[in-house]
Structure 1
């Protein structure tokens, strides 16, 4: 198996285009099932966040898989994605996965939220049997590596994500009295919860929170004792009191419409951290309102960014070493698969031979048992020398050449090898 990834990300894809390529839970599961129906795709994981939409697949035909994934994005999502789609194969795809998981490929270098998002992507695929041994190994190794380098280099020692960056931005905007500002968080999911945690850590005293459902409000109250809960249907009524709104829901639709916004008597900062976007773009045109989206945070420089960039260079070098080891595992996995195939072919031929002989000869039960034992042993002995030779292969070139040979020799029906014996 080989790795291929196709997708779009924050580097060169505008926000309005990234929206078109995003997946919600339902479409993500549907996408995995659709792609698994393709002959050239064996396993699928879809990673969809506010900054990227990427599909990782395990395949034996990297070129065909790349074309299938591009076609899927254009037909199932939007043909407007075409200029922005990237395709990475084999080693380049592995390196990309590691850079994504470690936060080296994030808008905010070293951000820590992506690790959880990658874990979720793996678990969602596993839940519907979308991935098997190969992608599970790739993702778990990348996750383990990310945890290791974050511990060693402390690149995320100061928690950093879009949520934390948004809170720091608010603090910069109100350096004298930020703690007294009223801030409404819309959405009690992971990003909303993180925003609340950072508000607590930074000393914000007046958080408000609302969500379409109140499913985890008790948890939010435990995070910040001063948080005030607002019924979702009353969100527009409290806006005139607020200084800042942070919206981070998983809604596929706009949840703050300009036409329904009340008149503002004081300045209001609206921060939309969702993808698809939560806030009507026209809200930014309302007198007194300033609208910030995910892409606006590209220009915000974190105090520790210089340190993070130096650390990122070291991590990038370690990624290359890690990939060398991963490729070695993939190479030996090919040997394991060939050995398994030889053993299975041997077993099937032995059982068919036993059945054939026992059907033609008049044997007692004891004789049949003895015959079966001898036949199985001899067929096992027959494949032991080639298995030993397979396990002695060292280079990827040798293994690939032998893989083709074994596939050629054993591509027919197992019973065909019995030929004239029948």
Structure 2
């Protein structure tokens, strides 16, 4: 199997275009199931965050898979994505995955939240049988590596994410009395909870929260004892009392519209951390409203950014060594799979021969047992020399050449690979 990734991210894709490529929970599951129907795609994981939308697949045909993913984005999402889509294959795709998980590819270098988002993407795909041995291996290795380098280099020792950066922005905007400002967080998901945690740590005294459903109300109150819960349907009524609003929902539609906003008597800062955006763009044109989106934080540098950039270079080198190890694993996995298939083919042919001979010969039980033993032994001897030769190989080019030869000489193996007993079982055939 080979790794292919196609997607868009914050580096060169405007916010309004990233919105068009975003997946919510329903469309993410539908996307995985739709792509799995393609013959040239064996496994799928979709990573969709406020800064990126990326589809990772395992495939035997990288070119075909790449074309399928590009067409999927253009047809299922928007043709406007065309100039911004990137396509990476095999080693480049692996390096990209590692850079994403470690935060080296993030808008805010070394940010924390992406690691959890990658874990979620893997689990969501696993929940609907979207990925098997190959992608699970890739993602788990990247996650484990990230935990290791974060511990070793402490690149995220100071919490850094969009949520923490938004809280720091508020603190800098109101340096003298930030603790007394009234701040409403809309959304009690991970980003909303993170914002509340950072507000507690930074000494904000007056947090308010609202969400369409408050399934984790007790968690919020445990984080900040002063948090006040607002009924979602009353959000427009309380907005004029607020100094700052942070929105971070997973809603596919805007939750704050200009026509619903009440007149303000004091300045209001709205920070929209959602993608798709929570706040209608026209809200930013209202009197006394400052509307910020995630793209406004691109130029905000934290105090340890110089250190992070230095560490990032070291991590990038370690990623290259890690990929060397992964490619070696894939190479040996090819050998393991050929050995397994040769053994299975030998066993199957032996049993067919035994059944055929015993059906035509008038043998007693003892003779049948002897005949069966001899046939199984001879078929086993037939495949032992190539198996020993296979296990001695360590050059990928040679292994690929032998793989083609084996499937040509043993059509049953070739048939099994093409047809597959189950598509997800075939993903183990790296």
Task: State the shift of 1:369 in Å.
Answer: 2.7
1: distance between equivalents of 2:413 and 2:405? 16
Query: Cα deviations across residues 133-187 of structure 1 (Å, max 9, x unaligned)?
Result: 1111000000000000000000001111000000000000000000000000000
Deviation by residue 1:85-126 (Cα, 9 ceiling, x = unmatched): 000001000000000000000000000100000001011111
Taking the aligned partners of 2:180 and 2:414, their CA distance within structure 1 comes to 77
The answer as to whether partners of 1:254 and 1:278 remain within 8 angstroms in 2 is yes
Q: Does 1:143 align with 2:143?
A: yes
The match for 2:78 is: 78
Write out per-residue CA displacement over residues 62-103 of structure 1, whole angstroms, 9 at most, x where no aligned residue: 111100000000011000000000000010000000000000
- Which stretch of the first structure deviates more once superposed, 203-212 or 33-42? 33-42
Report the CA distance between 1:280 and its aligned residue. Answer: 0.4
Query: Is residue 349–residue 414 contact of structure 1 (8 Å, CA) maintained in 2?
Result: no
For residues 65 and 412 of structure 1, the distance between their equivalents in structure 2, rounded to whole angstroms, comes to 25
Aligned equivalents of 1:413, 1:274: Cα separation in 2: 49
Matched-pair contact (CA < 8 Å) for 1:242–1:268: yes
Q: Aligned with 1:8: secondary structure?
A: strand
Residues 408 and 414, structure 2, Cα contact 8 Å, conserved in 1: no
> Does 2:371 align with 1:371?
yes
Q: Show the counterpart of 1:256.
A: 256
Structure 2, unmatched stretches of 5+, are 416-430
After superposition, where does 1:402-413 map in structure 2 within 5 Å? Answer: 402-411=402-411
Alignment of 1:169-248 (within 5 A): 169-248=169-248
Give a deviation string over 1:346-366, Cα, whole Å, max 9, x none: 111011001101101112233
* CA distance in structure 1 between the aligned counterparts of 2:345 and 2:122, rounded to whole angstroms: 33
SS at match of 1:299: coil
Indicate the SS of the match to 2:411.
coil
- Does residue 297 of structure 2 align to residue 297 of structure 1? yes
Residue 315 of structure 1 corresponds to which residue in structure 2?
315
| 8 Å CA contact 1:182, 1:208 repeated in 2 | yes
Name the CA distance, whole Å, in 2 between partners of 1:91 and 1:237.
53
Q: For residues 12 and 414 of structure 1, do their structure 2 counterparts lie closer, same or farther at Cα, with a shift above 3 Å needed?
A: closer
Determine the structure 1 residue equivalent to 2:110.
110
Cα displacement (A) at 1:250? 0.4
Q: 2:8 maps to what in 1?
A: 8
| Structure 1: gaps of 5 or more residues | 416-422
Q: Per-residue deviation at 1:370?
A: 2.9
Q: Is the aligned partner of 1:386 residue 2:390?
A: no
Is residue 242–residue 268 contact of structure 2 (8 Å, CA) maintained in 1?
Answer: yes
1:122 aligned to 2:133? no
* CA spacing shift, 1:401–1:240, aligned 2, 3 Å: same
Query: 2:44 aligns to what SS in structure 1?
Result: strand
Q: Which residue of structure 2 aligns with residue 279 of structure 1? A: 279
* Structure 2 counterpart SS, 1:3: strand
Q: Distance in 2 between matches of 1:17 and 1:168?
A: 27
Q: What is the Cα deviation at residue 371 of structure 1? A: 2.2
Deviation digits for residues 395-419 of structure 1 (CA, Å, limit 9, x no counterpart) = 111111111111222235899xxxx
- Give 2:335's aligned residue: 335
Separation in structure 1 between the aligned mates of residue 343 and residue 43 of structure 2, nearest angstrom: 24
Moved more, 405-414 or 250-259: 405-414
Q: CA deviation at 1:367?
A: 2.7
CA 1:62–1:235: 2 relative to 1, 3 Å: same
Q: Residues 265-306 of structure 1: CA distance to partner in whole angstroms, max 9, x if unpaired? A: 100000000000000001100100000001000011111111
Distance 1:234 1:414 in 2: 64
TM-score if structure 1 supplies the norm length? 0.97
SS at match of 1:265: coil
Which residue is equivalent to 1:57?
Answer: 57
1:395 maps to what in 2? 395
Contact 1:348 1:414 in 2 (8 A): no
Q: How far has the Cα of 1:344 moved from its partner?
A: 1.1
> Who is 1:32 aligned against?
32
Structure 2 equivalent of residue 154 of structure 1: 154
Q: Is the 8 A contact 1:4 1:57 kept in 2?
A: yes
Which structure exhibits the higher relative contact order, with contacts defined as CA atoms closer than 8 Å and separated by 6 or more residues? Answer: 2
CA distance in 2, matches of 1:387, 1:354: 23
CA distance in 2, matches of 1:125, 1:409: 36
Structure-2 residue corresponding to 1:43: 43
Q: Secondary structure at the match of 1:269?
A: strand
When the two structures are aligned, how many residues end up with a matched partner?
A: 415
Structure 2: distance between partners of 1:105 and 1:377: 55
Please say if residues 74 and 80 of structure 1, whose CA atoms lie closer than 8 Å, have aligned partners that are also in contact.
Answer: yes
For 1:204 and 1:364, the matched residues in 2 are separated by 89
Q: Cα gap change, 1:85/1:414 in structure 2, threshold over 3 Å: closer, same or farther? A: closer
Q: How far apart, in 2, do the equivalents of 1:82 and 1:411 lie?
A: 41
Partner secondary structure for residue 233 of structure 1: helix
